[in-house]
A = this chain, B = another copy of it.
Amino acid sequence: MAKQVISTPVIRRLPRYYRFLGELEREHIERISSRELAMRMGLSASQIRQDFNCFGGFGQQGYGYHVKELREIIGNILGVHCKTGVILIGAGNLGKAIASHVDFRKRGCELIGVFDNNPLIQGTSTADLPIMPMESLDNFCKQHHPQVAVLCIPKDAAQQLAEQLISLGINGFWNFSHFDLRITNPDVIVENVHLGDSLLTLAYCMHRHENE
């Protein structure tokens, strides 16, 4: 099988496939055709078949796809069984919510450390983890080698901290800090989440809709 490059739109759809297949499994549905899945997901059957065939032929002519099997395959592609070490920086409202609300384990990640520079909350804990002072960051990374950092910090601190973290071995960022990290190192992966942009997009659509 030639190792082709998977396009971004396909990658972005994978977690959604995984989610819908989980749903189907919970509904005890054993097999599904691309046509049925397309209807549920609001995609085209053609697109679904194209997407899956980026990775290989998981279906069976005349039958469709075996839900459980397909879900496992996509889970493996996504790496849900990995145990990537994750630290979270900034245990304010948002940081704490993410630490406790997001199921890292289900997604191949393990939250192993939480840091904040506010002495008032150091020592308290979130998601069963003690909030550590920033001064411990260095030693912690040297000891536990986390790979991913979740940034829930103000935007002015983001770029500098990111660079420090890279030097400590971090090569993946889940960035909530209202600032687009620009990392030149091609081995570092950044996933920017801009909640504000998302709300603004919704606001625009509502606003436009009104004026039509």
Contacts and interface: CB of A to CB of B under 8 A. Distances in A.
B172 A189 contact: no
B191 A77 contact: no
A171 B210 CA distance: 11
Contact of A96 (B97, B98, B106): B97
B203 A79 contact: yes
Contacts of A7: none
A75 to B, nearest CB: 10
Give how many copies assemble into the complex.
2
A112 to B, nearest CB: 15
A36 to B, nearest CB: 15
A48 B93 CA distance: 35
Contact of A204 (B79, B92, B100, B205): B79
Interface of A: 11-12, 14-16, 18-19, 41-42, 77-80, 82, 84, 92-94, 96-98, 100-104, 106-109, 147-148, 171-172, 174, 178, 180, 182, 187, 189, 191, 193-209
